[in-house]
Amino acid sequence: MLNGIAPGGVWVYAEQGAEGIRPVAFELLGQAARLTGGMERDVTAVLIGGTEESAASLAASLAARGADHVLIGEAPAEALPDERTHTAIMEKMIDEYHPAVLLLGATAFGRSLAPRLAARLGTGLTADCTGLEIDPETGLLRQTRPAFGGNLMATIICPERTPQMATVRPKVFPMPAADPERPVHVIREKVGAAERCFEFLERLVSADEADIGAADVLVSVGQGIGGAENIAMAEELARRLGGTLSSSRPLVDSGVMPYARQVGQTGKTVAPKLYLALGISGAIQHMAGVAAKTIVAVNTDPDAPIFDYAHYALRCDCGVFLREMLGRG
């Protein structure tokens, strides 16, 4: 045991964004706490960079969501957005503490960090998992993800190398309730930044880089939306509902919508309170990314698969529906 952290535990990489800890880190902490329940394994949240004052506050929030320990890799401020530096710091701490499992969010940053780190550690990585379980007999992490276009679910194990690594999309797992009374055990590690062959100047966020994963209301358009005028009305309806416009893959592939707004297996997993699907067929690859509380589908095709998922279904033209909703009928 080193600094109170026993080898063989479950680690969660706590990615930071402009708003603080990314919510997916808290979701993964909830799953890690569930996986280790009744077992002699600890849950460790790994945080890289930040001032001592900010790190203390962030560590408390991580402990409240299920972390037994918060391991802070101290790094220069300029290392925060750099996947190469985070890879080097994570590699050193993993070699020192020997966790059995490492979970990361399948964000843009996480999808860059995870394969880099897996390659450096010589271990396996299962991407975009939708289910995680610990095998009671072997103690191995059973990592379940969609395969073959979502037509079957594959369960993968990594029996020979550790840590067993998996990435999980935001909102696949529920947000655990916070317990502000949980004690926080913080360990700080001084780890030097890695040498790099470039100079980081600034990170720019695209003006259209909408966070559809955080929206409570999504108005989503597909091939059957009926053109640019209807897309503009769909965006206005989304705005009136306090939501965001999203899209299925065909409109992204054709260049009509940006990738940041794509919902589905190859886009983002979303879990809004309301998902209004306009002209979306409802292919399994799309619906694999939808975990909405209420789904409303508008489509002219009576055989569209989306109707099998919808709580409310309307067989009508999307343009007619949008004009009625906006009072333009």
Percentage of the residues of the chain whose pLDDT score is greater than 70: 89
Which residues have C-beta within 8 Å of that of residue 162, sequence separation ≥ 6? Answer: 98, 99, 100, 101, 123
- Strand ranges, E, within the chain: 10-13, 16-17, 20-21, 43-48, 69-74, 101-105, 125-129, 131-134, 141-147, 152-156, 164-168, 186-190, 217-221, 244-247, 274-278, 294-298, 312-314
Peptide bond before residue 163 is cis, with ω within 30 degrees of 0: yes
- 212-251 pLDDT, tens digit each: 888 899 999 999 999 899 999 999 999 999 999 999 999 9
Question: Do the Cβ atoms of 142 and 157 come closer than 8 Å?
Answer: yes
Residues of the chain with pLDDT under 70: 50-53, 75-81, 149-151, 191-210, 329
**CA–CA gap between residue 90 and residue 41 (Å, rounded):** 20
Work out the angle at residue 15's Cα, subtended by the Cα atoms of residues 11 and 20, and round it to the nearest 5 degrees.
130
Pairing of strands 131-134, 141-147: antiparallel
Per-residue confidence (pLDDT) for residue 145, from 0 to 100: 87
Task: Return the structure tokens found at 160.
Answer: 């020979």
Torsion sign across C-alpha atoms 171, 177, 180, 185: negative
Question: Do the Cβ atoms of 163 and 175 come closer than 8 Å?
Answer: no
Strand order in the sheet with 217-221: 244-247, 217-221, 274-278, 294-298, 312-314
Letter for the amino acid at 167? T
Letter for the amino acid at 32? A
- 83-97 pLDDT, tens digit each: 788 898 999 999 999
DSSP state of 47: E
Per-residue confidence (pLDDT) for residue 285, from 0 to 100: 85
Per-residue confidence (pLDDT) for residue 80, from 0 to 100: 53
Query: What radius of gyration do the chain's Cα atoms show?
Result: 21
**Type and span of the H or E element at 87:** helix 83-97
Domains within the chain, CATH numbers bracketed: 10-190 (3.40.50.620), 212-325 (3.40.50.1220)
